[in-house]
């Protein structure tokens, strides 16, 4: 039986953790390294750091932050944002990251996924997918550049290509639910998990402990990612794991 992973996500801008609603109206949530230490102590399974302005600012991602995190936490972590080449990925892995996430650059040049997977192994290659529902077409559409640009490409088409190119995991974010605290987009997550055989991390919309179990049980998510409820002390990782265990969802034990 698989263990569902609980993954705090830290969106980073100018060296600080931030959180917004629907990818806008950002507010400060603290120092990313300090938050990472907190989540490690609480029993998080993994961490995700997304440099959300690296692509839009046309700069490299935060290699120095990766080094600081690697020196202070003892759980796997992923870093994304501004990863455009195999050399960018190499630098992050050498700095201490366990995985790298690609998004905009991979949509523009899908072979980047294959290049990273072939160089470092699929287990290192995470594709972050920012999806928004399009009322006109009835499809979920992939967005890039921190959610600013619509690709007009359907999520199903994109995630199946990502898997075929060697992606080891998908980080699936519902832009419609991001920061709304209305719960994961179960329809979106179910759609994607039913199309691929690689792990899917559900992201976007968590506002309450009760929101985690449906994404694992109904949508078959392999990982459950949340941000603001952890950052602002509304709930701990241990409390989430206790609630999941009560719903018969297998998780690794938390510790204090």
Q: Considering the domain boundaries, does residue 251 fall inside one? A: no
Let me know if 176 is a catalytic residue: no
Across the range 105-122, mean pLDDT stands at 98
Q: Is the pLDDT of residue 60 over 60?
A: no
Q: Considering the domain boundaries, does residue 255 fall inside one? A: no
Give me the number of domains the chain comprises.
1
Q: How many CB atoms lie within 10 A of CB 122?
A: 18
Per residue in 164-180, pLDDT (tens digit) is 999 999 999 999 998 88
Q: Considering the domain boundaries, does residue 152 fall inside one? A: yes
Question: CATH number for the domain including 200?
Answer: 3.20.20.70
* Neighbouring residues of 157: CB distance < 8 A, sequence distance ≥ 6: none
Q: What is the mean pLDDT of the chain?
A: 90
pLDDT band at 23 (very low <50, low <70, confident <90, very high): very low
Q: Considering the domain boundaries, does residue 256 fall inside one? A: no
Q: Residue 81's pLDDT is what?
A: 86
**How much is the pTM?**
0.91
Q: Residue 24's pLDDT is what?
A: 46
Let me know if 11 is a catalytic residue: yes
Q: Considering the domain boundaries, does residue 254 fall inside one? A: no
Q: Considering the domain boundaries, does residue 217 fall inside one? A: yes
Q: Residue 232's pLDDT is what?
A: 83
- Nearest alpha-carbon partner for 82 in 108, 64, 55, 103: 55
- Nearest alpha-carbon partner for 2 in 193, 188, 166: 193
Containing structural domain, residue 84: 5-246
Q: Considering the domain boundaries, does residue 57 fall inside one? A: yes
Q: Considering the domain boundaries, does residue 224 fall inside one? A: yes
Catalytic residue among 45, 115, 130, 178: 130
């Amino acid at each position: 039986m698989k263990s569902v992973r609980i993954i705090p996500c830290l969106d980073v801008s100018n060296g600080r953790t931030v959180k917004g609603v629907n990818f806008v109206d950002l507010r400060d949530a603290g120092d990313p390294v300090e938050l990472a230490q907190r989540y490690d102590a609480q029993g998080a399974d993994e961490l995700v750091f997304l440099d959300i302005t690296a692509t839009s600012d046309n700069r490299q991602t935060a290699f120095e932050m990766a080094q600081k995190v690697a020196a202070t936490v003892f759980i796997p972590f992923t870093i994304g944002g501004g990863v455009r080449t195999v050399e960018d990925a190499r630098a992050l892995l050498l700095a201490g990251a366990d995985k790298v996430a690609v998004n905009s650059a991979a949509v523009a040049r899908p072979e980047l996924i294959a290049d990273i997977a072939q160089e470092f192994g699929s287990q290192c290659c995470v594709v972050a997918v920012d999806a928004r529902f399009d009322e006109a077409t009835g499809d979920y559409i992939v967005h890039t550049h921190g959610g600013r640009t619509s690709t007009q490409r359907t999520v199903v088409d994109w995630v199946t290509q990502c898997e075929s190119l060697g992606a080891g995991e998908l980080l699936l974010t519902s832009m419609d639910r991001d920061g709304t605290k209305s719960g994961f987009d179960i329809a979106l997550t179910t759609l994607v998990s039913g199309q691929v055989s690689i792990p899917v991390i559900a992201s976007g919309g968590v506002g309450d402990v009760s929101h985690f179990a449906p994404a694992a049980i109904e949508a078959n998510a392999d990982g459950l990612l949340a941000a603001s409820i952890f950052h602002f002390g509304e709930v701990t990782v241990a409390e989430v794991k206790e609630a999941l265990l009560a719903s018969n969802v297998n998780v690794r034990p938390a510790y204090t």
